[in-house]
Amino acid sequence: MRLNNIGYLLKEGFKGIFTHGFMSFASVCVTVACLMIVGSFSILSYNLDVMVQDLNQTSEILVLVDSSLTDAEARSIGTKINALPNILKSTFVSREEALADFIDDHNGDSAFSGVQAEDLRHRFIVTLEDNTKMKQTDDQLKQIPGVAKTDAAYELAEGFTTIQNVIHIVSVAVIAILLVVSLLIISNTVKLAMYDRRDEIAIMKMVGATNGFIRLPFMVEGFTLGMLGAVLAFGIEWILYDALTVRVAEVDALQLFKLVDFQELLMPMVATFAAAGLFVGIVGSWTSIRKFMNV
């Protein structure tokens, strides 16, 4: 294909966008809307993922040591705990430290003034590598001689994992549905353009134009619409997300939610939006062209 042909084909492709201005506008709008929803779900999913991971990492197992053991014996259990699989770290808390924490937690409430260090047990706070295996690790901890009792909130950990899984599944489903919607809209725009130009296409075929030559302007049209939608969606998403991050940081009630900075999402988002725009544009036009090529 010669250079002047490529110039002509590109020109025809761009011309097509303006010839069906309203449909082009509609497809860009729908692509923007769909990609923004896709983007929002991806961001939401990512943020919840990070949040759940953070929360997950804070869930620990409390291991209470048999009260008949001496201080040294109690401390030596730490070695056995650390030797188990799935242990990230274990921290020894003596009776005295536990009492201080207890008093601190109850703001020096006089009702607990009679509590002595001897009433409490030495303990370990154990953080796990993988919280999905909390129950298994808890069972292993109970087997260690000198361990009197454990306290593991594995139902909570399992709950976090379930939430994470649900978010992933919903996100994938919504993203897939919206991509198909965008695909259909772009495909219809290109189909309309092709229907409008069916006589031209028939003439092109009659005088010996190759399929590639006929196809290219429509591909350019679909590609441009898809990419335009992607760029706009990305820009709007960025602005809105930045504004939301600032608002969330300002509201005290939402201090628990710390949104991930957009800079952290920049590259994956650029890649996702570009790929989605490209996919929607190229595949959308390709599928509609096929039908008209059999003139």
Pairing mode of beta strands 60-65, 87-93: unpaired
Q: Which of 130, 139, 200, 264 binds other proteins (CB under 8 A)?
A: 200
- Is 204 a binding residue for other proteins by CB under 8 A? The answer is yes
- Position 206 contacts other proteins (CB under 8 A): yes
Q: Is 141 helix (H, G, I), strand (E, B) or coil?
A: helix
* Nearer to other proteins among residue 156 and residue 204 (C-beta): 204
Among 210, 239, 254, 271, binds other proteins (CB under 8 A): 210
Cα pseudo-dihedral 67, 72, 78, 83, rounded to 10: -120
92 is a site residue for other proteins (CB under 8 A): no
Kindly report the number of other CB atoms within 10 A of residue 261's CB atom.
11
14 binds other proteins (CB under 8 A): no
The residue (of 141 and 289) whose beta carbon lies closer to other proteins is 289
How many positions of this chain bind other proteins (CB under 8 A)? Answer: 19
- Distance (Å, rounded) from C-alpha 191 to C-alpha 185? 10
Only segment of 96-104, 133-141, 202-210, 249-257 that touches other proteins (CB under 8 A)? 202-210
Using CB under 8 A as the binding rule, whether residue 30 contacts other proteins is answered as no
Give the DSSP H/E element, type plus range, for residue 207: helix 198-207
Give the interface segment with other proteins, choosing from 141-149, 160-168, 183-191, 205-213 (CB under 8 A): 205-213
Confirm or reject binding of residue 209 to other proteins (CB under 8 A): yes
Q: Is 2 in the site for other proteins (CB under 8 A)?
A: yes
Of 118, 24, 46, 129, the C-alpha closest to 82 is: 129
Radius of gyration of the chain (CA): 31
Candidates 18, 208, 255, 267: give the one binding other proteins (CB under 8 A): 208
- The letter for the amino acid at 209 is A
Contact 183, 280 (CB under 8 A): yes
Return all residues near 135 (Cβ < 8 A) that are at least 6 apart. 152, 154
For 203-224, give one letter per residue: b (16+ CB within 10 A) or e.
ebbeeeeeeeebbbbbbbbbbb
Whole-angstrom distance, CA of residue 180 vs CA of residue 176: 6
Tell whether the torsion through CA atoms of 51, 53, 58 and 61 is positive or negative.
positive
CB of 209 to other proteins, least distance (A): 4
Give least dist CB 17 to other proteins, A: 17
Tell me how crowded residue 185 is: count the other CB atoms within 10 A of its CB. Answer: 23
- Looking at the Cβ atoms of 8 and 92, the one nearer to other proteins is 8
Residue of 115, 166, 203, 275 that binds other proteins (CB under 8 A): 203
* Min CB(292)–other proteins separation in Å: 15
Residue 198 CB, nearest distance to other proteins (Å)?
A: 11
Is 289 a residue that touches other proteins (CB under 8 A)? Answer: no
Interacting residues toward other proteins by CB under 8 A: 1-2, 4-5, 8, 199-200, 202-211, 213-214
